[in-house]
Amino acid sequence: MITSFKNCQLETLGVSFLDEHVLRVSLNRPQSLNAINTQMGHDLLAVWEALSQDDHGVRSVILTGEGERAFSSGGDLKERRGMSNDAWLEQHRLFERAFLALLNCPIPTIAAVHGVAYGGGFETALACDFIYASQSAQFCLSEVKLGIIPGGGGTQTLSRAVGERLAKEMIMSAKVLSAREAFEHGIANQIFKDQSDLMESVTALAKKIAMHAPLAVQGAKKSIHQGLQVDLGRGYQVELDIYNQLIHTNDRREGVNAFNEKRAPVFKGE
């Protein structure tokens, strides 16, 4: 159990604060193109569950990959070589829990992608709230080459991002998209010249999100995510339920007072 991100030690992840409220999580197996092995599954699950249970002051999260070549190449096939069916299923149950924990994390998550994002790496990025990418980024769900299909939510998250027809084309043919193509199809929100520009811009965005009322930001994330799963009328009711909850918060009163007093608000997430 993670008790503090300030002194957090994880075998396959780098975790650090960029300021008081912005957490940077980096997939840290660059020698293996940040492939997701069993230990990384445990580490990712620990981080997302900790953020869901206690935010530790975190208001936005940047997820990226160490090194210059990859965000993540997906599941570690060297570890999986010769793995029994039972062992494979056991490992995948761990990965499923990690993917779901990321999808359900209340804190805004931004994937900063450079280099390859294949298979489970691409699915991890898709599970974040949105994606910023450098021009070196490449995106592919390549599982059909291995005799399987995406198992980290890819058939669902990609379809919601690009629509049914392109998702089918990409997954069935293991099509690789460039950063530009990912941007044009709505997978990447923005693209940048290089990794340095990418991280500078995504850090600025994460800090901007962290400036706003955290309960309101989390409420907006929840409303959008849940509302898209139902019809418009029920989606509007989800929005109203969250809106009405926020009326009673100190942050709502602080926001209104700060506006009228012509000063910057000081939000405390309460």
- Distance of alpha carbon 128 from alpha carbon 78, whole angstroms: 26
Q: Which of 148, 183, 184, 155 is nearest to 170 (CA)?
A: 155
What is 214-260's CATH number, 3.30.470.20, 3.40.50.300, 3.90.79.10, 1.10.12.10? 1.10.12.10
For 200, the 3-state DSSP assignment is helix
Cβ contact 126:158 at 8 Å: yes
Q: Which of 123, 105, 131 is nearest to 170 (CA)?
A: 123
- In the chain, where are the structural domains located? 13-211, 214-260
Token readout for 13 is 């992840």
Q: How confident is the model at residue 1 (pLDDT cuts 50, 70, 90)?
A: very low
pTM of the predicted protein model: 0.93
Domains 13-211 and 214-260 alike in fold: no
Residue 6's pLDDT is what? 55
Cβ contact 76:120 at 8 Å: no
Per residue in 242-259, pLDDT tens?
999 999 999 999 999 999
Q: Which of 90, 26, 86, 21 is nearest to 56 (CA)?
A: 21
Quick one: average pLDDT of 41-68?
A: 93
pLDDT of 113 above 80? yes
Q: How confident is the model at residue 53 (pLDDT cuts 50, 70, 90)?
A: confident
- Distance of alpha carbon 252 from alpha carbon 250, whole angstroms: 5
Q: How confident is the model at residue 2 (pLDDT cuts 50, 70, 90)?
A: low
Among 46-55, 150-159, 184-193, the range scoring the smallest mean pLDDT is 46-55
DSSP structure class, residue 263: S
Q: What percent of the chain has pLDDT over 90?
A: 94
For 99, the 3-state DSSP assignment is helix
Burial class of residue 115, CB neighbours in 10 A (0-12, 13-18, 19+): buried
Phi, psi torsion values for 111, nearest 5 degrees: -85, 125
Per residue in 29-46, pLDDT tens?
999 999 999 999 999 999
How many Cβ atoms are within 10 Å of 248's Cβ, its own excluded?
8
Token readout for 229 is 């799963």
Biggest CA-to-CA distance, the chain: 66
Token readout for 215 is 């309960």
Quick one: average pLDDT of 261-267?
A: 94
Q: In what order do the strands lie in the sheet with 138-140?
A: 70-72, 116-118, 138-140, 177-178
pLDDT of 120 above 60? yes
> Under CATH, what is the fold of the domain 13-211?
2-enoyl-CoA Hydratase; Chain A, domain 1 (3.90.226)
Residue 42's pLDDT is what? 96
- Distance of alpha carbon 165 from alpha carbon 40, whole angstroms: 32
